[in-house]
Amino acid sequence: MSEKFVYDENLASTYEKYTRLLGKVAEADETAAFLERLSKGGVALELGIGNGRVAVPLSERGVKVEGIDNSDSMLKLLAERTDLIKGWKGDIARFRAEKPYDLVYCVYSTFTLLSTREEQIACLRSAAEALQENGLVVLEVRVPPLDGLIGGQKTTTTFVDHENTFVNAVIHDPVNQNLTSTILWFSGTSVRRLPQRVRYVYHQELDTMAECVGLQLAERWGDWASGAFTNESKSHISVYRRTGL
């Protein structure tokens, strides 16, 4: 099993501000509306629930939401925010649900934080097994950001305002489809360092992995407003149903 980058206190304490600056908090209600449509009033399970950025607005729409996360610090943020959502500690690469769910979802490319193919397939298998008969799996996955690499590296500025600058330094490992990055967050006179590793995956490989565990693509969109997935899309939202394998 690969070394894990667990969200520690440093990452958790800045998560809300970080996601707010990137527009991900503002986006969460649209994400929740999309997921509410697919949950059909049932029970949903979020993989990598974090601080409840999406789970809280989904729960406010009347969907019963539960979630798994492997970070004590992130689960603490969730618990401080609401007692309506049951969150428990576990690894989304291998989990066993105690009951069937109408919807299992994993957003913000959390799926790619599983940095090996084996872990990603195991996650899809666990998700498929956690579904009730007509249940759905929804994944929001980033299109591999491989443009602009020089010598297997790139450094980009991903956000700037009057107080904050995010600089992302990435190293590409093509053999393992890994991108190991360090986000340097300059704010005033301080610099924070946020490390991360992902295993990028194209949508067609994702479909093949899903098919291996009895899931079939039902819908694919380019954004939460159900815009088309095109060559210009930066991510996709893929909806899978069980095939009964």
Ligand X SMILES: C[S@@+](CC[C@H](N)C(=O)[O-])C[C@H]1O[C@@H](n2cnc3c(N)ncnc32)[C@H](O)[C@@H]1O
Residues near ligand X (CB under 6 A): 7, 19, 48-50, 53-54, 68-71, 74, 91-93, 107-108, 110, 113-114
CB of 52 to ligand X, least distance (A): 8
Q: How far is the CB of 146 from ligand X (least distance, A)?
A: 20
CA 40, 41, 43, 46: dihedral to nearest 10 degrees? Answer: 70
Q: Which is nearer to ligand X, 109 or 132 (CB)?
A: 109
When the beta carbons of 17 and 152 are compared against ligand X, the nearer one is 17
SS3 state of residue 224: coil
Is the Cβ of residue 193 or residue 245 nearer to ligand X in the bound state? Answer: 193
Instruction: Please report how close the Cβ of residue 71 comes to ligand X at its closest, in angstroms.
Output: 3
Output the smallest distance, CB 74 to ligand X, in A.
4
CB of 34 to ligand X, least distance (A): 13
CB-nearer residue toward ligand X: 108 or 224: 108
DSSP 53-104: TTHHHHHHTT-EEEEEES-HHHHHHHHHH-SSSEEEE-BTTB---SS-EEEE
199 class by beta-carbon count within 10 Å (0-12 exposed, 13-18 middle, 19+ buried) = buried
Nearer to ligand X, 152 or 193 (CB): 193
